[in-house]
Structure formats: C-alpha cells, structure tokens
Structure 1
Amino acid sequence: MRRIGFFTFAVGVALLPALFPDNYFVMAVGVSAGLNAILAVGLNLLMGYAGQISLGHAAFFGMGAYTSAILTTRYACPSLIALTAGLIIAGVIAWLLARPILRLRGHYLAMATLGFGVIVHVLMVQATPWTGGPDGLNGIPPLNLLGWSVDSDLRWYAVIMAALLLAIGLSLNLVDSRIGRALRAVRGSEFAAQMLGIDTGRAKTQVFVVSALFAAFAGSLFAHQQSFVSPDSFNLTVSVELVTMVVLGGLASTYGSACGAIALTLLHEGLVVFEDYEMMIHGALLMAVMIFMPQGLFIGLSQGARRLWRLKNKASA
C-alpha cells in the first residue's frame, strides 16, 4: 500500500505542470508547499514516531538557508558545496544539542527547544557582518546542479518535488527499519523500551539529527529559490506552523504530514482574498478538522472514503 501511495503521489506531482502549463501562481504555490512538506516530513519523524515535540525546528531551517546564502554570496562557493556545508553544520549542532535536551520530557522539552530557536533567531538578527542583520542577505545565486542551473519556475518545481519524493522515501524506509521500530517503542513508553534493551537516548538523538538534516536541506533549497533570506523567515511563528502542519495531517503518518503541509499552504494562499477575516477563518477551519478528524486530515479523509465505499457496496448489493 505504501508503494502504491508513493507511486500515486509521484504521478500526481508529475501531472500538475501538464494540467496548468505556464501558470506561475500554481508553480510558485507548488514550490512553497513542497518545501513545507519536506520540513513537515522531517519533523514528523521526531514528533509523530518518536513522540518528542520541538518548537525550535525553524532554527535548523534557518541554518541551512544562511549557510548556503553566506557561502555563495560572500565566498563564491558552489551551491552544492554550500548545501552540503549547511547539512554538516545543522547535523553537528543537532547532535551536540540532542543528548542534553532530549533528557527532558513534555512541556520542559518544548520550552527547551523554544529557547534554542529563540537563541538562533537572535543570532541571525544580531550577527550583522555575517547575516546582514534584520535586512537579511540578497543576491543569492540559483542552485547549480552539475552545470544545470535551476533558474525557472518549472525547474524549481521539478527539483523541489524530486526532493520531496526523496524525503518521503527516506522517511518510509526509516520507519520500516529497526530504528523506526525503536522510535515507536519510545513513543509508546520510554521506560518499557529501555526494559526491552533499546538505547532510547541513542534512538532519540538519531531521529533528532535526521529531522534537523531534513530542515537544513529544505532551508538551503529555500535560500537559492528565493535568492533572499531574512530572520523573519525562521522565527517562532514558523516553528509553530510546522508543528501545526504535522498535527493537522496526522501524527505518525508520513503522507499525512506531507498532506498537512500542502493543505495548510493552500489554505494560506486561498484565504488571502478574505483580508481581515483570514485568521478567523483559518482558526475556525483548523478547529473543525481537529474536532471531527482528531487523528489528522489524511487519516480522517481515508477513513471517510472507506466508509463511503462500503456504503456504496451495501447499497448496490
């Protein structure tokens, strides 16, 4: 079923440009939704499967973006090397942070990750010689993949969606592996997992680092796609929105987290026409989904579709 779902998702992504040729708005929204989905899939590994909440995930998103921006604009570094450097920096910092911070649980862990995100955001604002301060950095060159410059909307859509499919595939494989089973055990009961011989500290550290790498990867792509970065793109609001995407789509569901990110991105774009009532409608819709689909949008719609199918078969019989 997962292979069928992956193939269906890939076909849908591939057909979208054919259905809306030369449509800048559709491609732009698709790129934004794809980046958010990569972030949500990575965060879902930490929250959904390991049961560890993070309110500072935008910090790793910003690390990847600023590393690529600084290396390419100030040191003329090739974009692929800058992207790799962003992954290394985010991975090392996540590994150093994971051991002490993941000893905390519940709201203590949430507050610790929140503090980390605030510290990184302040550094982005105050380290003006490196980051450009509140004004950010502009003039970031396009992503260059072995001589192929990603400099058009269609090319960016293709790259982002390929990256999203890669992220989903890696996530599904990780969940089905021994590490994934250990993470589900930790989420169920960390004490029981320890009694079974699982090194819970190591498992949580590994998933924290992997989740940070997903975010840094998306950040590097974001910097080259926007050709501009500023601290406002990586503040607390972004971290909260990422948590909302994961919960909205459905915890412990890779496709659910991706669908939650896409749905929330489309919701933001669709509610722009309502201007002053945008946040009110946005909040009401989120409340309705959580009340009537507590397991998440993806699982709720799947269950609804199955019920309709059964009713149709009973009626035809």
Structure 2
Amino acid sequence: MDERSETRILRMNMNEGGRGKGDGARLASWTPYAALALAVLVAPWVVTDTYLLSLGSLIGIFALAVTGLNLLIGMAGQVSLGQAAFFGLGAYGSGIFSVHFGLPVGAAMLVAVAVACLVALVLAVPTLKLEGHYLVMATLGFNIIFTIVCIQWEVVTGGTSGLFGIPGMELAGLNLSDDRNFFYLVWTVMVLVLWLCANFLRTRPGRALRSLHQGDLLPASLGVPVIRYKVGLFVAAALLTALAGALYAHYFQFISPHSFDMFVSLQLVTMTALGGLGNLWGGIFGAAFLLLLPEWLHAWPDLMILLHGLILMLVLMFFPKGLLPAVGEGGKRMMGTLRGNWGKKGI
C-alpha cells in the first residue's frame, strides 16, 4: 500500500462518525459494560472470602492504572517505564495531604491527582521529543528518582518504614474501605473509565489519537497536532494511574517506596502487553493474570521478577498483538474449523 492510499484510509477513519448505526448497534455497545457491571454486583455475594475480595479490588486498581498506560502505548506508541512513579505520586500525595495536612480524603485525592498531572505535564514536554529507547530510559530515570526521594525524605514519607495511619474512605457514614464496599467502589470507577475512554475514542479527536500509532508524519500532514495530543495522552495516563494509586493508599492505609519501584512499572507494561496494545478491555485480563500468578506459584516467590521479564519477552516475540487477542483469534479459528467439520458430516 502506497503513501497516498494510507493517507486516504487514515482520513476516512478520522472522518467516520456514528451515522448509519441502528438501535441494535447502540444496544450492542452497552452489552459488555452491562455484563461487567452485573458481574461486579454479584461477585461480593458469591465470593465471601475477604482475601479474595481484596485481591479482586487490587486487580481493579491495577486494571485502572493499565488503562491509562494502554492509552499511551496503544494509541501514541510511547512506551513508559515510569508509570509506577505516577502510581506512587497518587498514593503518597493523597496519604501525605491527609495525614500531615489533615485534608479530607476526597480533597486529598483530588489534590494528589492534580499534582501528578502537573508533574506529568512538566515531564512530557521534553521527554516526548525523544523516541525509542531514549524515551524508555528517561521515564525509567524518573521512576528511580521518585523511589529515591520516597526513601530519603523520611520526615514526610516515612522512608523505608513507609507511611502509616492513612485514613480510610467514608461517604455519608458508609465505610468505603470495607472489603465489599471498596470492591464496589473501585470497579464502579473502572466500568465508568472504560465506558468514557471507549466513547471518546469513537469521536473525531479520539480517532485522530489512534492515528498516532502509525507514526508522526502522516497524522501531522492531515493537520493532527501530534505533540499536543501526545502530551495530552501522557497526562491522561498519569491521571488514571495516580487515581489508582490514591485508591490503593486509602484502601490498604499503608504505603512504602517498594510498592512503586521500577519493578511495578515493568508489571504495568507486562499487563498492558498481555491484554493487547490498544485493547482497553485487555487491561483487566492482564492485571488479573499477573496478580493471580503469585497465587499459583507461591512456592517460588524469588522467581517472580524473572517470570515477569520472561512473560513480557515471549508475548512481544510470539503474540505482538497481546495474549488476550491471540486467544480470541485462536478460539475463532477453532470454532470455524469445528463448523466446517460439522458441515462436511452433514453433507
């Protein structure tokens, strides 16, 4: 396909709208969100074990962070190994503002997320001019600096001992840090974020964002403000990741620097790759797979870092679209083969 054909297809994709879609198509778009909401509603009544509920909440927190990273990698093609720093900014920011400054939990979370967005904006302007491994190294360096600051600034962060006494969340006298209530809270946020992101990507700016993954020159030739969109995606990814970190801090009510080091950034990238780059629903699969992995391999805890790196390498080598899309395509081929065999037998 020549450059002129690619330009024509890209322009058509950017201009296509929702016209011509019937009520059935609109209903179908709501189906997965309704199914997920129903599963969230029923799960705490079926799974009564508090540990499993806590694990489900943790999967929701990481899925929220992965959704932000997926927008950055899957849409803009910008790989970041510093997302754990924004995860920590949300957690430490909300914890510090509520513990040391006495802010209400809701206000502390808002301020922490705003600070994380501001830091992301300041960081994005110079770093997004870099490409390839230079961008990866820049974001990795930011993550390392953040971890060092958390360890050394003992008066504020608690140092290696961590930050204790973070208050739980309440709303109108309802304890949202209760296992069941928090499960509902984090997954309600997750469903809402998925729905908002999916609908935004159907708009004209959303389709322009998706075009960035093909490179900068072609979208720029069509009038797409590439740098502005990349900076916006970087800040949006930081916002979702910081929100996940704030929820994490007020649920567990204790945080330490090791919860936000570069290994956690590697985890987030691996979760994104497992679910498929650009696949918003894949973040849930990737987060669930990696967080359940230690439960299956609890006898070999020292191998977890090696396994994460090995899984990421194998997925990128053999399943570049992600493990979840590969499983889906394999299932479709199997169903097609079975239908063909049944048709032959019928004949």
| TM-score interval, smaller chain | over 0.9
> 1:250: how far off?
0.5
RMSD: 1.9
Q: Verify the 8 A CA contact 1:248 1:260 in the aligned structure 2.
A: yes
> 1:191: how far off?
1.1
Q: Verify the 8 A CA contact 1:255 1:298 in the aligned structure 2.
A: no
Give 1:15's aligned residue: 42
> In 1, Cα distance between the equivalents of 2:143 and 2:275?
23
Say which one has the larger Rg: 2
Correspondence 1:48-59 to 2 at 5 A: 48-59=74-85
Identity across matched positions, percent: 37
> 1:222: how far off?
0.3
Runs of 4+ in 1 over 4 A off after TM superposition: 274-292
> In 2, Cα distance between the equivalents of 1:295 and 1:120?
31
Q: Verify the 8 A CA contact 2:270 2:312 in the aligned structure 1.
A: no
Kindly provide the CA deviation profile for residues 146-177 of structure 1, in whole angstroms up to 9, marking residues without a partner as x.
Answer: 44221321111111111211221222123222
> In 2, Cα distance between the equivalents of 1:96 and 1:24?
41
Most deviating of 304-313 and 275-284: 275-284
Most deviating of 305-314 and 87-96: 305-314
Gaps of 5+ in 2: 1-27
Give 2:337's aligned residue: 311
Give 2:220's aligned residue: 194
> 1:134: how far off?
1.3
The one of 253, 257, 277 equivalent to 2:283 is: 257
The one of 173, 181, 190 equivalent to 2:207 is: 181
Correspondence 1:143-158 to 2 at 5 A: 143-158=169-184
TM-score, structure 1 as length reference: 0.93
Gaps of 5+ in 1: none
Kindly provide the CA deviation profile for residues 172-215 of structure 1, in whole angstroms up to 9, marking residues without a partner as x.
Answer: 12322233222222210201111111110100011111000001
TM-aligned CA distance change 1:11 to 1:102, over 3 Å? same
* Residue 227 of structure 1 pairs with residue 253 of structure 2: yes
Kindly provide the CA deviation profile for residues 202-235 of structure 1, in whole angstroms up to 9, marking residues without a partner as x.
Answer: 0001111100000110011000011101111111
> 1:113: how far off?
0.7
Aligned residues: 316
Give the partner amino acid of 1:212. A
> In 1, Cα distance between the equivalents of 2:61 and 2:265?
14
Most deviating of 140-149 and 69-78: 140-149
Give 2:292's aligned residue: 266
> 1:292: how far off?
4.9
Give 1:169's aligned residue: 195
Matched residue SS, 1:272: coil
Q: Verify the 8 A CA contact 1:49 1:180 in the aligned structure 2.
A: no
> In 2, Cα distance between the equivalents of 1:118 and 1:197?
37
Q: Verify the 8 A CA contact 2:263 2:305 in the aligned structure 1.
A: no
